[in-house]
């Protein structure tokens, strides 16, 4: 019980610290939000006609842009910690590595969910404005599913920023990987009809949660060995 309280306290401490860092980058955050609305608006006005997938899937894919916020902020997280030598401090601290990882992800996940709701409303508004019948595509399940997918996107970015030493390479690899994971998971659950049937939705959430827990443990293992990757 005491252990759990301590872990929770450490998660909150790290989250608070990460949130303060995000708060101190308000201009960057607002810029990313505005930028992420551009493709959403474009896809909405042409009803998903010009894209890789079917129109409805093209529109769904725009929800992944909110998750990219997490990627853009997290991609630098560990690399920055390496540069500032704060990673060493975190590794010798009393906080469990899983708490550090979860604490890092939670604040960006919260902002991503806020972005998601804004994007969702924006796209929905456009579809109603142009009189499209495709609004039925946006169900409560699709809204609830996204945070699970965003977490996967976050953890993939964290792993890539631990492994890749070069900051610029880590930026590119992190964003591409994260985007790919987001699209794959979103299309996968859409293919299974998880946004229509509640039972498939719940099974999909469970499946992605198992994936996320496994990735968190993998990230923890890599983080433990991370100093061996750092060039002196």
Partner 1 sequence: MNIKIDNISFRYNKHELILKDLSIAFSKGQIWGILGHNGAGKTTLARLILGLLPPCSGNISFDFEKSISYLPESNGIYEKLTCYENLVFRGEIFGLNTVASKKRADHLLEELNIVNKKWERAAFLSHGMKKRLGLGCALMNPGNLIILDEPTNGLDPESLEIVRNIISSFKGTDTIILIICHDLETVQQVCNNIVILQNGEKIYISAMDGDNKESIKDIYLKVVKGHEEYAD
Query: What is the binding site for partner 1 (CB under 8 A)?
Result: 9-10, 13-14, 16-17, 20-21, 24-25, 83-86, 88-95, 227-228, 232
Q: How far is the CB of 120 from partner 1 (least distance, A)?
A: 30
Q: How far is the CB of 88 from partner 1 (least distance, A)?
A: 6
Q: Which is nearer to partner 1, 24 or 54 (CB)?
A: 24
Q: How far is the CB of 85 from partner 1 (least distance, A)?
A: 4
Q: Which is nearer to partner 1, 9 or 206 (CB)?
A: 9
In three state form, how does the secondary structure of the chain look? CHHHHHHHHHHHHHHHHHHHHHHCCHHHHHHHHHHHHHHHHHHHHCCCCCCCCCHHHHHHHCCHHHHHHHHHHHCCHHHHHHHHCHHHHHHHCCCCHHHHHHHHHHHHHHHHHHHHHHHHHHHHHHHHHCCCHHHHHCCHHHHHHHHHHHHHHHHHHHHHHHHCCCHHHHHHHHHHHHHHHHHHHHHHHHHCCCCCCHHHHHHHHHHHHHHHHHHHHHHHHHHHCHHHCCCC
Q: How far is the CB of 77 from partner 1 (least distance, A)?
A: 11
Q: Which is nearer to partner 1, 91 or 192 (CB)?
A: 91
Q: Which is nearer to partner 1, 91 or 222 (CB)?
A: 91
């Amino acid at each position: 019980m005491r252990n759990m309280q301590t872990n929770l306290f450490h998660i909150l401490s790290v989250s608070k610290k990460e949130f303060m860092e995000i708060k101190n980058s308000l201009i960057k955050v607002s810029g990313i939000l505005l930028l992420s609305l551009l493709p959403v608006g474009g896809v909405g006005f042409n009803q998903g006609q010009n894209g890789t997938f079917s129109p409805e899937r093209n529109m769904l894919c725009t929800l992944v842009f909110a998750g990219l916020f997490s990627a853009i902020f997290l991609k630098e997280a560990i690399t920055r910690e390496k540069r500032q030598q704060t990673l060493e401090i975190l590794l010798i601290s009393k906080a469990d590595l899983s708490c550090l990882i979860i604490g890092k992800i939670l604040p960006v996940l919260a902002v991503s969910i806020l972005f998601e709701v804004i994007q969702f409303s924006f796209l929905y508004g456009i579809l109603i404005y142009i009189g499209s019948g495709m609004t039925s595509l946006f169900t409560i399940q699709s809204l609830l599913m996204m945070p699970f997918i965003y977490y996967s996107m976050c953890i993939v970015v964290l792993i890539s920023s631990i492994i890749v030493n070069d900051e610029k390479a880590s930026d590119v690899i992190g964003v591409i990987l994260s985007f790919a994971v987001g699209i794959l998971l979103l299309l996968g659950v859409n293919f299974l009809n998880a946004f229509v049937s509640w039972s498939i939705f719940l099974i999909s959430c469970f499946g992605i949660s198992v994936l996320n827990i496994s990735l968190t443990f993998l990230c923890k293992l890599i983080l433990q060995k991370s100093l061996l990757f750092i060039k002196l």
